[in-house]
């Protein structure tokens, strides 16, 4: 059950009783958007986030009917460096398990698919995004308000590139522990590829799912602070068609 909805600048905000209701409702809206796009386009390009916050949404959208997934190309928005290709904590492997392997997608384009950590990989993936501009982004918000791995110290709303390698800040590493990806902060890789803020926000439609108590402060910053790279997620408030989906826990400081 949706318990509240409102607009903050251009950002639509919808708050639900539980994270399951949040994920299911977001999936229904996203599926409707995809069906509409596929009526008018030969192919649709989607950027997916790999995070525990997305699980309910990913489970629900995989069950939605009437979506021509064979005309959908999938991208993902960030990936660690320094991990073997088969490592279970690589985001590409997470997405393959949770969603990509469950759908008859036209193509899946993985970041750093060979494990070769070079600037050339950033350029390769950026070229793919230029050739196939994203129509939709499915994403979350980090505990430090990051989008993808655009932590506050590296976020740039006018970034000249679409993909870059960045160093993760300590709050970001701690979130990976909170999410159960790693046992300790020391295990979290220090560097990662990320799609930049302009790459993420160039999508015409953004669905942002952010459940959980650990995200409450980030949501408060997102909705109450001035729009600036100090709080990267505030950039969503300038997007023409972005919707933020919350549960009561993540919305607890703004209700």
pLDDT-derived band at 17 (thresholds 50, 70, 90) equals very high
Strand partners, 74: 46, 108
Cα 239 from Cα 59, distance rounded (Å): 26
Strand partners, 45: 73
Length of the chain: 255
- 3-state SS class at 114: coil
Which whole number is the average pLDDT over 37-44?
98
pLDDT-derived band at 174 (thresholds 50, 70, 90) equals confident
Radius of gyration of the chain (CA): 17
pLDDT of residue 168: 84
Sorted by sequence, the CB contacts under 8 Å of residue 182 that are 6+ apart come out as 89, 176, 188
Both tokens of residue 225? 């602070």
Which whole number is the average pLDDT over 188-197?
89
Cα 27 from Cα 48, distance rounded (Å): 13
Over the stretch 72-130, which tens digit does the pLDDT of each residue have?
999 999 999 888 888 888 999 999 999 999 999 999 999 987 767 678 999 999 999 99
Q: What DSSP element (H or E) covers 107?
A: strand 107-109
pLDDT of residue 171: 75
Distances (CA, A) of 245 to 184, 239, 240: 29, 15, 16
- 3-state SS class at 116: coil
Backbone angles phi, psi at 44, to 5 degrees: -125, 140
pLDDT of residue 18: 98
Distances (CA, A) of 220 to 26, 39, 210, 233: 20, 37, 12, 11
Give me the chain's average pLDDT, please: 94
Sorted by sequence, the CB contacts under 8 Å of residue 124 that are 6+ apart come out as none
Backbone angles phi, psi at 15, to 5 degrees: -115, 130
């Amino acid at each position: 059950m949706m318990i509240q909805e409102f607009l903050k600048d251009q950002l639509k905000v919808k708050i639900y009783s539980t994270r399951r209701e949040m994920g299911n409702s977001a999936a229904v809206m996203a599926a409707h958007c995809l069906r509409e796009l596929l009526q008018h386009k030969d192919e649709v390009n989607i950027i997916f986030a790999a995070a525990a916050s997305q699980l309910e949404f990913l489970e629900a959208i995989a069950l939605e009917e009437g979506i021509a997934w064979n005309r959908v190309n999938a991208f993902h928005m960030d990936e660690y460096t320094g991990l073997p290709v088969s490592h279970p904590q690589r985001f590409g492997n997470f997405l393959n398990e949770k969603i990509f392997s469950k759908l008859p997608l036209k193509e899946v384009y993985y970041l750093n698919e060979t494990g070769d950590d070079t600037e050339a990989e950033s350029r390769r993936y950026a070229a793919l995004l230029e050739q196939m501009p994203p129509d939709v982004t499915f994403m979350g918000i980090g505990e430090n308000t990051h989008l993808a791995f655009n932590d506050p110290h590296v976020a740039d709303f006018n970034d000249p590139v679409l993909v870059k390698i960045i160093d993760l800040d300590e709050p970001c590493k701690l979130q990976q522990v909170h999410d159960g990806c790693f046992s300790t902060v020391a295990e979290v890789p220090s560097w990662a590829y990320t799609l930049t803020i302009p790459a993420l926000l160039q999508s015409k439609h953004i669905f942002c799912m952010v459940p959980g108590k650990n995200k409450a402060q980030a949501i408060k910053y997102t909705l109450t602070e001035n729009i600036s790279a100090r709080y990267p997620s505030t950039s969503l408030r300038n997007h023409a068609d972005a919707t933020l989906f919350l549960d009561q826990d993540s919305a607890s400081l703004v209700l």
